[in-house]
Chains A and B, each alone.
Chain A
Amino acid sequence: MDETVAEYIRRTVLKIPRDEIKTMLQKWGFLSEAQLQNLNFHQIKDNISQEVVQLCEENSADIKQAALLDIIYNYIYQDKRIWSVYQMKKSGEELEYFDITDFKKKFKRRIRSTLKNVTITFKEYEDNAIWIRVAWGTPHKKPNQYKPSYVVYHSQTPYVFISASVLKSNMPLLCQALIVASNYHDIREMELRSHSLNSLKDIVFKRYSQNFQTYTAKPLQGGNIESQNADRRIVQENRSEKERIYRLNQEAFGSGPQPKLEFAQYRLETMFKSDPKMDVLDKKEPFRCLVKFSSPHLLESLKSLAPAGMADAPLSPLLTCIPHKARNYFKIREKKGSFPESFVSP
Chain B
Amino acid sequence: HLATSLPLPSERDHLRPRIDLIVFMIDIKSKYSLKNVEASLAHVDASFFLGKVCFLVTGVGRVNDCSIETNAVCKLGKTYCSPVLFCELELEGVRAATAQRLLRILEICAGHVRGVSALSFVLLMRNSDDD
Q: B1 touches which one: A235, A242, A309, A310 (CB < 8 A)? A: A235
**B4 sits at the interface (CB 8 A):** yes
Nearest-Cβ distance from residue A307 to partner chain B, whole angstroms: 11
How many residues of B sit at the interface, in one of the four size bands? 10 to 19
By the criterion CB–CB under 8 Å, are B11 and A235 in contact? no
Whether B4 contacts A241 by the Cβ 8 Å rule is yes
Query: Which chain B residues in 5-45 approach chain A with CB under 8 Å?
Result: 5, 8-9, 11-12, 15, 30, 32
Q: What is the distance, in angstroms, from A245's C-beta to the closest C-beta of chain B?
A: 10
User: Is there an interface contact between A237 and B30, defined as CB atoms closer than 8 Å?
Assistant: no
Quick one: closest A residue to B17, CB to CB?
A235
Assess whether A238 is interfacial by the CB under 8 Å rule. yes
Complex Cα distance, B12 from A236, in Å, reads 10
Judged by a CB distance under 8 angstroms, whether A217 is at the interface is: no
Chain A interface, DSSP helix/strand/loop, else mixed: loop
Structural contact, A236 and B2, CB atoms closer than 8 A? yes
Interface centre among A234, A237, A242 (most CB of B within 10 A): A237
| Cβ distance B98 to chain A, nearest Cβ, rounded Å | 17
**In the assembled complex, A60 has its CB within 8 A of some CB on chain B:** no
Chain B neighbourhood of A241, CB < 8 A: 4, 9
Report which of B2, B8, B32 forms a contact with A234, defined as CB distance below 8 A. B2
Query: A74 → chain B, closest Cβ, in Å?
Result: 37
Chain A, range 198-246, C-beta contacts under 8 Å to B:
234-238, 240-242
- B30 and A310 contacting across the interface, CB-CB below 8 Å: yes
* Pair B2/A237 contact, Cβ less than 8 Å: yes
Smallest Cβ-Cβ distance to B11: which chain A residue? A240
Residues on B with C-beta less than 8 A from A240 are 9, 11
Chain A residues whose CB sits within 8 angstroms of the CB of B4 once the complex forms: 237-238, 241-242, 309
Cβ of B36 to closest chain A Cβ, rounded Å: 8
Q: Quick one: which of B73-90 are within 8 Å of A by CB? A: none
Asked if A238 and B9 make an inter-chain contact with CB atoms under 8 angstroms apart, the answer reads: yes
B3 close to A (CB within 8 Å):
yes
What residues of chain B have their CB less than 8 Å away from a CB belonging to chain A?
1-5, 8-9, 11-12, 15, 30, 32
18 other contacts beyond A238-B9, A240-B11, A310-B32, with CB at 8 A cut-off?
A: A234-B1, A234-B2, A235-B1, A235-B2, A236-B3, A237-B1, A237-B3, A237-B8, A237-B9, A237-B12, A238-B2, A238-B4, A238-B5, A240-B9, A241-B4, A241-B9, A242-B4, A310-B30
Which 6 residue pairs are nearest across A and B when measured between Cβ atoms? A237-B3, A235-B1, A238-B4, A237-B8, A237-B1, A236-B2
